[in-house]
Amino acid sequence: MAGGGGRRGKKGARIEIIPLIDIIFFLLATFIMVSLSMSKNQGVNVALPGASTAQSLGDQSEMEKAVTLSVNDKGELFFNKDKILATQLPMRLQTYKMSSKDPKVIINSDGAADFKYVVTVLDEVRKTGIAKVGINTDKK
């Protein structure tokens, strides 16, 4: 009688690693795509006017650091997503300029908004001394 222990013919449970790696990469890619789709600009939704000469202001991470000033079709002003009065804009811009090493402003304006509101916002940004200003448009 030989004492072989009975384990010679049986194979133990095995975890396949390649399908596991495939699932991990799929989840990682899904997470990245969802994160990128969520990191749009910080302003409110407005119907942007189109421009055939529109250019990108920089990479996405740089634009996320910028303040977005939005003017809707009713002439209401938004600092990122906060509705503010035009009289509050200089103080908010000054605070932003002091707290940021490289202040940037993006102006969103509804195509139906009066141009005078956009000019007022641009004028206040210039008075504050912020040099990097962009006007957001849709590319035609």
**Does residue 67 form part of some domain?**
yes
Name, of 71-75, 106-110, 123-127, 133-137, the range with top average pLDDT. 123-127
Helix (H) or strand (E) holding 136: none
- For the cut 80, the answer to whether the pLDDT of residue 107 exceeds it is yes
Domain count, the chain: 1
Mean pLDDT rounded to a whole number for the chain = 78
Q: Tens digit of pLDDT for each residue in 44-103?
A: 566 555 555 555 656 555 666 788 888 888 888 888 888 888 899 899 999 999 988 888
- For the cut 80, the answer to whether the pLDDT of residue 137 exceeds it is no
Question: Which residues are CB-contacts of 72 (< 8 A; sequence separation ≥ 6)?
Answer: 44, 46, 78, 110, 113
Q: Write down the pLDDT at residue 28.
A: 93
Strand-pair partners of 50: 138
**Does residue 73 form part of some domain?**
yes
What whole-number distance in Å separates Cα of residue 81 and Cα of residue 93? 14
Which residue range(s) make up the domain with 92? 50-139
DSSP string, 47-102: -PPEETT----S-HHHHHTSEEEEE-TT--EEETTEEE-GGGHHHHHHHHHHH-SS
**Does residue 115 form part of some domain?**
yes
Global pTM reads: 0.57
Domain with 132 in it: what CATH number?
3.30.420.270
Which whole number is the average pLDDT over 120-134?
Answer: 87
Nearest by Cα to 66 from 40, 91, 48, 36? 40
- Position with higher pLDDT, 83 vs 140: 83
- Position with higher pLDDT, 119 vs 12: 119
**Does residue 133 form part of some domain?**
yes
Per-residue pLDDT band for 119 (boundaries 50, 70, 90) equals confident
Q: Would you say 120 and 126 are in contact if contact means Cβ atoms under 8 Å apart?
A: no
CB atoms inside a 10 Å sphere around CB 71: 25
Question: Which residues are CB-contacts of 108 (< 8 A; sequence separation ≥ 6)?
Answer: 41, 43, 44, 46, 48, 68, 69, 70, 71, 136
**Does residue 36 form part of some domain?**
no
Give the residue ranges of DSSP H helices in 1-140. 17-38, 60-64, 89-99, 115-128
